[in-house]
Structure 1
Amino acid sequence: MRVRRSPGTRRAVAARTPRAVRLALACVPGLAAVVGLVLCADGIGHGRAVPPNPVAARPVTLHAAARPHIVPRSAWLDALSRHAQPPPRYDDKVVAVFVHHTDSPNGYACADAPRIIRYLYAGQTGARDWDDIGYNFLVDRCGTVYEGRAGGVDRPVTGAHTQGFNHRTAGIAAIGTFTAGAEVPPAMTRAIAALAAWKLGLADVDPRTTARLVSSNSLSRYRSGATATLPTLAGHRDGYMTSCPGAALFLELPFIRKEAARLQGRPQDSHETPLTSTGTP
């Protein structure tokens, strides 16, 4: 940075010259030091360097993924169907994702997905008396992602999807039933991977690793207060006694993890063999 004198009188130059100029160069943490430099200008524009001051750099997410298109709640929830509910609850961040299936028919037209989600919402807020739909997101067979639980898709909303492990996690539900022998559409698995890559990337979490989660309910696979080490991108049955998300979708999780890591820009381990989805169009 250079501060130059402009043509004109000494008084005019002094009037135009800043009394203090700060130059802060913030580099990516871990790659280079954060450098601060202060130049103090005198009355006629001559600068002198003074010792650098520490500069607080903003946290940089090193492995962020692009946010996929997410259809808002207003596309499936109208005023007549809306259930009275308390304000959303939040955690500090999302460190794991649980994948579910909705246990509903598979042969639907994707244009009917909003109606199906509205039906699921009615069942959970009606017969089950929940305050909102439990899943944070839902994905249809065409790969369209829908906002589920209220509170903001980019915020760590506390869901109601995995007994004992709703805190610091997000629930993604595949619309359909994916038990053994069912076909999992590739568009769906890739959409789940893209969504998980983005959501976990907000906290720079690798989808291929594990997370330490504390159970809040003894009805889960772990007693209340116990710390469980679970996949960062897990199936519902990893945390609760259930067959969800179905055997067919559960088999897709290794592909989803690696695809999500790829979308985050993480290098593939040298010993890993590239995976492909086993689903068929």
Structure 2
Amino acid sequence: MDATTKTNLYDCRDAFASVLEKLAADNEAVVAVCNDSVGSSKLGGFKSKFPERLVNVGIAEQNMVGVGAGLANGGRIPFVCGASCFLTGRALEQIKADISYSNANVKLIGISSGMAYGELGPTHHSIEDFAWTRVLPNLPVIAPCDRIETAAAVAWAATYDGPVFLRLSRVGVPDLLPEGHVFEVGKANVLREGTDVTLIANGTLTHRMVKAADILAKDGINARVLNMATVRPIDEAAIIAAAKETGAIVTAEEHSIYGGLGSAVAEVVVDHAPVPMKRLGVPGVYAPTGSAEFLLDEFGMAPGAIAEATVALLRRK
């Protein structure tokens, strides 16, 4: 069965936790730091196996990032885990000064990103984190599309000598990439070839883009689908090729349309290969309460709505 047609959904946090425990078993330098989020960060198994290597600072995100920086300075490899809205919002100054500016070997894990907290509302939605983090030097910003890419990205992060921001949702997604996938930072994956338009997404939106491409194919529109897991450094070559070879680009993200993936793609397009573009996301408002799936649909990112937006864009060509 083709990966895009599987109905099984997987929580990427489980893949993160599984790989982290394996890394810790092989390397005593690997430690975890959290903000009273052992459960939501899926660190229960890590705590049981390596209790002396889990630091729970309580609900104190600024301290959490500082502790992570200190551990890195002491030769450890800290995975600093917390809800993305609080990790990036409350501790942005520490991420800037202690992690990015200092080029500290800290792995920031933004859990339950986007609108995954759903009914908890605007205070818990994390639809600004791409914008806040991707402007910081030295900090790769990554949003895997499935559990396979999550596992590969965590393994890569552990070997990378420098800071990383890894954005993970708690919303289940299907497998899209093959088992054994090797993560390459700054490298997009072509999930579907196409010549008429290119659909670009990451995280929870990637499988919706694949479904949108299936809908478009029924209308004779051949859409390329790119999984752009790395927002920074972004795969400029893949974007330029998409613009030149397909002539139009649609992006979708579980984030504000300002400052996120769509903006990053648009920056490359306007500099190197201007073509018609449509950016789908949260349109510069505070997202209300509601499940993540409901909110994505409400903001025009159901597969059918993505297909309709693509058709409308192609009429402009």
**TM over 0.5, shorter chain:** no
Q: Report the TM-score when normalising by structure 1.
A: 0.29
